[in-house]
Structure 1
Amino acid sequence: MLAAELNISRGVVVEAYQRLIDEGLATGRTGAGTTVLGHGRDAEPPSDRRRALDDLRLPLPPPEHIDIDLSPGVPDLSAFPRAQWLRAERAVLDEITAADLGYGDPGGTPRLRAELAGWLRRTRGVRAEADDIIVVGGVAQALALLAQTLHAGGVTAAAVEDPGSRGARDQMAHWGVRPEGVPVDDEGILVDRITQEAAVLTPAHQFPTGVVLSPARRRALLEWGGLVIEDDYDAEHRYDRAPVAALQGSAPERVAYSGSVSKSLAPGMRIGWLIAPRRLQAALLEAKHDTDLGSPAIPQLVLARLLSNGDYEKHLRLVRGRQRRRRDALLAALRQHLPAARVTGVAAGLHLVVMLPEPMSDAILAERAAADGVLVHPLSWHRLQPGPPGLIIGYAAHSPDRLAEAAKRLGSLTLPRP
């Protein structure tokens, strides 16, 4: 209709609508038309930016000076499937009984655990029954429960990837398990350097480098003998390669597997899952019960419905297409404005890494970028030992135009010497 009114081709109209959706200015649903949203810059409230800066304890400008936040791990929150969630929630409220609203199993609602068992078996190669799954408040709580259980059993240190997730290190340390760094190369963690009884890993897409644990390293890890804590933090986001199966499927008795909807739906949902070796399950369930008596029931039942009716998978297909377009736009802009930089970790996930020529200081460059309104993470923030400089750039939360602008600003900076 609009094409006829404007006397232009239908393809131009479709492309225009897609551009509005990509820029976070509109959302479209089959049968419901296109709806105008607020400006994309408002998607992440200033309080979230303030929290991110405070957590990093860095001398960066106040959050009101940041207008392009490229922190890794932030998904496209404007893409949250509001209509599907609301429809599923109404259906759940029509169906549940009074008993469903009482104190339930601390491991989670049976329906969600059953749906997750099937979903993870099909998409990640995980081997687990419904009763093996503990529904948690995100991967952070999974790590907290594991750390408490390990510490109670006498484990005082765990191997972590270096560079690796700063949040995972902090979570383990808070509960009394000291993180000890083990280097990562192009094949993943150096397994022969692991001397601890447990290791926290991101084998399918290492954070932050993006490398995949090689088949030889996977075999060596399973022969190593300790507990592998597998954080499958962005399993749904694959663009240029087939998904790598979860390590848990090869050794369920040796791997504690965790994941969440934080990157696929929204981190504010606080829904995740933990599948641990059965010898640890009783202690983990006790720790979960002592922590919060169990996760909220209604969101679990809504997610179970989205998994069962296919809406969750439809949402993931939509988001993957959008994220791929944003990644491609950022790559093109980086090639134009930072031609000397080497970009890694682009085949999957929600961020990439720009490796910088030595001896540049990535921390100083990130501070200058922040002063120019662009927030990125220097790779050094996520290291325990010194290593090559780089910038970690998240691309999921911004439109192609904003990503191009960010790359232009980064390219215009005078790269300082350390």
Structure 2
Amino acid sequence: MADYWSTLDVDLHLPVDPDSGRRVGLEQALREAIRAGRLPAGARLPSTRTLATELGVSRGTVSAAYDQLIAEGHLVARQGSGTRVARTVTAGERTGHGAIPSLGAFAESVPPASGASGKSLAAPQYNLRAGSPDTSSFPTTAWLRAARKALTYAPAEAFGYGDPRGRIELRCALAEYLGRARGVLAAPEQIVVTSGVQQALALLGTVLTASGTTVIAMEDPYIPSFRDTVRATGVSVLPLPVDAGGARIDLLGTGDFDSVGAAVITPSHQYPIGSTLSPARRQLLADWARAGRLVIEDDYDGEFRYDRQPVGAVQSIAPDHIVYLGTASKTLAPGLRLAWMVLPPRLVAPVAEAKQLADHHSETLGQLTLAEFISSHAYDRHIRAARLRYRRRRDLLADRLKPRAGRPLAGFTLSGISAGLHALVRLEPAGLTESEVLTRAATYGLSILGLNEHWISPPAPRPQAIVVGFATPSDSAYPSALDTLVRTLSSS
């Protein structure tokens, strides 16, 4: 006899061997489900009346089986809370391939990191890797409030398959916000919601390849995974150098760059160099785009500026020739998987078609919540608070890396800190090399990134630097992470 039953806690397939007798068979089935982990500790079992009805046996048979497992310590029964699996059953008592491994067991199965010497190193205790905000500061209460309101008023059709461009509620909210806060010229019809900037680049690369574009220029250095994503669409990537004034826009249309049909640029705060595209180069970029090319503007860290006036999006200069990319990954959390493109009208249909072929559309509930979050101005309030918090962290980083008596630091300069969530620590030739710093950091339990891995074709001599993300740790962990960074950069 094999039946299904369900309760508030579990939905379990319970095979009962008829040859063992009803009571003994039920005992064995429950005992095996507990040991195998299919009935976890604390799970509530159905009442004797409910289970008897489901299995087609007498209530006395179920009561007897429960009593036996209670006597064995597998179950506990308390007045008002029903019968539950005892919490004293440990993972070690669970046998067979059906046992559920704990998260700790999974973590222990991951091999430890190795340093340059090949020796195993302890898992990093401190994380100063760039590319992520402080997820511990996610505005949970405000987000839940927005989710409740969004779901309360969501139409029934919102829970079905929808427009590949995304929910109209979010596209309308984004059009208003981007125009107000980033100077972007956008109508809701021009916006496509994606699961991240990386997916946006994949969709654009696919569309450009289909239209005959064979070469795309991308800043060098830049995010390696983004570069790989564009290459995977079938186009060639040509490295565009970056200096203190941002990307070398003056090179576009000349020499090897004459064949470039599109360029991916980060004007607001270049990653990882940290420079901002100069006004003259912004105009050059718009002129180059108007000549029949496409600019893909990655508004990296655009909301976070500290020591300078806000820099609007380049898209507003030539909206018919520039694609604007934005994301909630830095402002809220990467786990939301929500980003957006503002497209020139001619690209909306082909990109929407590519999006539908890729995954039909991005998830809906997060879109509805973000739309309410933006429309209620909770998004603005969160960004203002985050901007203040990250500026304090930036200031603390700059202060801690100042050389002081009795604390000899290796030669370096700190740059790219007027905006964004990371800083570039340029190492001087007479001091530690990038490889030495990374090795020492790993030894001290600190995770940071080197500049070397971001290059397509590093110049000679190769610049030595590390990229420090000051937004990643929690507030409580940040001071200790900085202590470890200072120790890593100390010359003694």
Under a length normalisation based on structure 2, what TM-score does the superposition of the two structures give? 0.70
Equivalent position amino acid for 1:361 in 2? T
- CA distance in structure 2 between the partners assigned to 1:60 and 1:110 by the alignment: 52
The structure 2 residue matched to 1:101, chosen from 159, 169, 193, is 159
Cross-structure match for 2:352: 285
Cross-structure match for 1:397: 472
Percent of aligned pairs with the same amino acid: 41
Which of 135-144 and 171-180 deviates more? Answer: 171-180
Per the TM alignment, residue 58 of structure 1 is displaced from its structure 2 partner at its CA by: 8.2
The structure 2 residue matched to 1:85, chosen from 143, 146, 150, is 143
Cross-structure match for 2:366: 299
User: How many residues get paired?
Assistant: 364
Change (3 A) 1:58 1:101: farther
Q: Aligned to 2:218, what secondary structure does the other structure show?
A: strand
Change (3 A) 1:145 1:59: farther
1:325-378 deviations in Å (ceiling 9; x for gaps): 111111111113636311001111110000111275313421331122111111
1:88-124 deviations in Å (ceiling 9; x for gaps): 1111221122111111111011111001001000111
- CA distance in structure 1 between the partners assigned to 2:190 and 2:118 by the alignment: 44
Cross-structure match for 1:385: 457
Alignment of 1:244-255 (within 5 A): 244-255=311-322
Under a length normalisation based on structure 1, what TM-score does the superposition of the two structures give? 0.82
- CA distance in structure 2 between the partners assigned to 1:307 and 1:388 by the alignment: 41
Cross-structure match for 2:400: 333
Q: Is the 8 A contact 2:124 2:442 kept in 1?
A: yes
Q: Aligned to 1:396, what secondary structure does the other structure show?
A: coil
Which of 367-376 and 136-145 deviates more? Answer: 367-376
Change (3 A) 1:61 1:260: farther
Q: Is the 8 A contact 1:125 1:246 kept in 2?
A: yes
Cross-structure match for 1:342: 413
Alignment of 1:18-97 (within 5 A): 64-97=122-155
Higher relative contact order (CA 8 A, sep 6+): 1
Is structure 2 residue 271 aligned with structure 1 residue 212?
no
Q: Is the 8 A contact 1:395 1:403 kept in 2?
A: no
- CA distance in structure 1 between the partners assigned to 2:445 and 2:390 by the alignment: 22
Change (3 A) 1:190 1:309: same
Cross-structure match for 2:425: 354
Is structure 2 residue 191 aligned with structure 1 residue 128?
no
Equivalent position amino acid for 2:161 in 1? Y
Cross-structure match for 1:235: 302
1:141-162 deviations in Å (ceiling 9; x for gaps): 1101001111111212211111
Q: Is the 8 A contact 2:129 2:472 kept in 1?
A: no
Cross-structure match for 1:367: 439
Q: Which 5+ residue runs of structure 1 have no aligned equivalent? A: 1-45
Q: Which 5+ residue runs of structure 2 have no aligned equivalent? A: 1-105
More helix by share: 1
Per the TM alignment, residue 412 of structure 1 is displaced from its structure 2 partner at its CA by: 3.0
Q: Is the 8 A contact 1:229 1:255 kept in 2?
A: yes
- CA distance in structure 1 between the partners assigned to 2:346 and 2:206 by the alignment: 15
Equivalent position amino acid for 1:341 in 2? F
Equivalent position amino acid for 2:435 in 1? A
Which structure's CA Rg is the greater one?
Answer: 2
Q: Aligned to 1:335, what secondary structure does the other structure show?
A: coil
Cα RMSD after superposing both structures: 2.2
Is structure 2 residue 251 aligned with structure 1 residue 193?
yes
Q: Aligned to 2:411, what secondary structure does the other structure show?
A: coil
Q: Is the 8 A contact 2:444 2:484 kept in 1?
A: no
Q: Is the 8 A contact 1:368 1:413 kept in 2?
A: no
